[in-house]
Structure 1
């Protein structure tokens, strides 16, 4: 049985698309492999593209009709029920891993709340602390992790089950404490990954947030000596990070052309080095 009761989301991830791309993966309290499947499609058939991940019935379904090649696909794509697919994927993977280790188990699964007082036979504690989780999230622009952290913050502050409203409320309160009420009003965060166009931030408030984040700036990916993070939507091209000497910078562009790196080059011209002409 899969118990999804730690989340009580009144909507899907704000701004999430329904494509096959991993960045459109949904979130849930019980999920595996970031809600993506590694597929290898060849003339011999459809299988897992990873040795550590067994081939599952779900993979064979998703691989039908695909051209030969390697894929990583969002399991919660268009036409699916995200919560049901997440539960199915988790159940199929655990069953396959148990069978691989000669542990007998049935083929059926269901979703239900675990009975009160049930005693777990195994508890797994992840060795990665929040710092390592955030470093990976920032390096790979992992929307899935960002939203899980966002929801967990709200649940830890206001109690489970996790909801979007609890997460927004917790973040808003912490920003007011960290930056002061005036600066905090310049930030509106409705999801953890920045996918929604309802997210809002001013340059001034982001600069103050970067100043507060400065002790942790090494968590940001480095690009030619600059610690920075990009943010991209159609018609939105943003950069935020720290120049060579640790001075925070923000570039927020709402325009058809992506000109953020030329803007950064001009900023860095004041400090001696230029950024690469990336995207």
Structure 2
């Protein structure tokens, strides 16, 4: 019986495991749900001659249920010639192309088109920033926003570089984000306990130093990114369009309003450096770095990426400046064997048009994140959007030649004027797991270039290339 292509694809989607190295197992229990009383716990009435009961035979452990998904296995390594033919059948992107495809576990190169040449990566550069942040800080690290005592009658709001600090907590949300309202509630309780109901408010965003605006960004990017600060609320956009020009001051103003809702009056707001040994009053924590990385990659969040970029320097004990972050990302990625002397990184988001990254560097980061040697980097993979399903890939893969990539291709997008890129992971039809990077610069047609990277990654998913 002939089965339609659509039905075949749906069957494939139904059994596909999208996560890499993530296996969902049902957990069987060896314990009975009811407590068993041993023979020594049973007692007889005084003087009774009744024999003690025989010990109850131990119940057999319950059999563990079958795994929900089969463990990820290493598939056959594809034939490079067949991989090349699969990509070439997509046609030429008619542009400058940097492209590399490698088998994840062995590192075998399956396709290379100027993969060692530095090209403008756009937002695929966020893969480098994310991997470096996870390596420097660890996946479980959290950033703390604090309130401490200042001079008499003053408290100071101290930014800890939480990229997702919100104005109000969202009940039962996951992952939990730190909120200004929670911080104000804690602070108000402490102040009222000490008899204070009127204060002056200072704010301290000194964790990040130097320029807030990257010198390589055009001025018209103000609708794409907020001046980077260690203290902001709602990603520097809490007051609406387009973005807060002074996000630290705006966060302090939001905190003052929250305090007033909790019956604390604020008479003055000003910048103020907190003393190193200032007495703490309240604090809230960010979600873990691994969740931050996933959010940054899923949504291609420029602001979150720039905050993570500055944290690279802070984690090394250096000033949280752009220059120091540039030095640290090179050191961290060199340690991960994911750096090339031709690489140039000027920011964390990929907005700078002076960035240059060879495609093979992106693939090296992806392979490191998938390896057993670096489990701390796994969020680089789990944060990749799924084609046709979520994040920046949700509305893509609409061309009939790319539909078979839906649900199978995972990738980080990159888009600037004159740049279309996609880098991620994909499992082929015969089970091989591949890391790929396709970067197009100066295409004759931007739309066709965007469709080309979708079709090329789909060609890998459909590849039976043993």
Deviations 1:40-99 (A, max 9, x none): xxxxxxxxxxxxxxxxxxxxxxxxxxxxxxxx42122xxxxxxxx223211210111111
SS in 1 for 2:370: helix
Structure 2 CA distance for aligned equivalents of residues 164 and 211 of structure 1 = 27
Deviations 1:158-217 (A, max 9, x none): 33x31112211111011111116xx43242211110111111111222222221123521
Q: 1:231 to 1:143 in 2, by over 3 A?
A: same
Q: Show structure 1 runs of 5+ residues with no match.
A: 40-71, 77-84, 274-279
Q: 1:271 to 1:227 in 2, by over 3 A?
A: closer
Residue number among 191, 194, 200 corresponding to 2:356 in the alignment = 200
| 1:104 aligned onto 2:262 | no
Give the equivalent residue in structure 2 for 1:121.
Answer: 281
Matches within 5 A, 1:11-90: 12-19=213-220, 23-37=224-238, 39=240, 72-76=241-245, 85-90=246-251
Give the equivalent residue in structure 1 for 2:434.
Answer: 247
Q: TM-score, normalised by structure 2?
A: 0.46
Structure 2 CA distance for aligned equivalents of residues 16 and 154 of structure 1 = 20
Q: 1:179 to 1:140 in 2, by over 3 A?
A: same
Deviations 1:203-248 (A, max 9, x none): 2222222211235212211112211111111111111111234311
Structure having the larger proportion of residues in helix: 1
Offset of residue 11 of structure 1? 5.8
Give the equivalent residue in structure 2 for 1:146.
Answer: 305
Structure 1 CA distance for aligned equivalents of residues 244 and 329 of structure 2 = 29
Structure 2 CA distance for aligned equivalents of residues 2 and 144 of structure 1 = 20
Offset of residue 17 of structure 1? 4.7
| 1:135 aligned onto 2:294 | yes
Q: 1:17 to 1:98 in 2, by over 3 A?
A: farther
Contact 1:229 1:239 in 2 (8 A): yes
Q: TM-score, normalised by structure 1?
A: 0.74
Structure 2 CA distance for aligned equivalents of residues 267 and 187 of structure 1 = 24
Contact 1:17 1:24 in 2 (8 A): no
Give the equivalent residue in structure 2 for 1:221.
Answer: 385
Comparing 23-32 with 109-118, greater Cα deviation is found at 109-118
Of the two, which has the highest radius of gyration?
2
Offset of residue 22 of structure 1? 5.0
Structure 2 CA distance for aligned equivalents of residues 154 and 30 of structure 1 = 16
Q: 1:3 to 1:263 in 2, by over 3 A?
A: closer
Give the equivalent residue in structure 2 for 1:47.
Answer: none
Contact 1:87 1:111 in 2 (8 A): no
Structure 2 CA distance for aligned equivalents of residues 14 and 193 of structure 1 = 14
Contact 1:190 1:198 in 2 (8 A): yes
C-alpha root-mean-square deviation of aligned residues, in Å? 2.2
Q: Which has the higher contact order (CA 8 A, sep 6+)?
A: 2
The count of aligned residue pairs is 228
Structure 1 CA distance for aligned equivalents of residues 333 and 460 of structure 2 = 31
Offset of residue 116 of structure 1? 4.0
Contact 1:251 1:264 in 2 (8 A): no
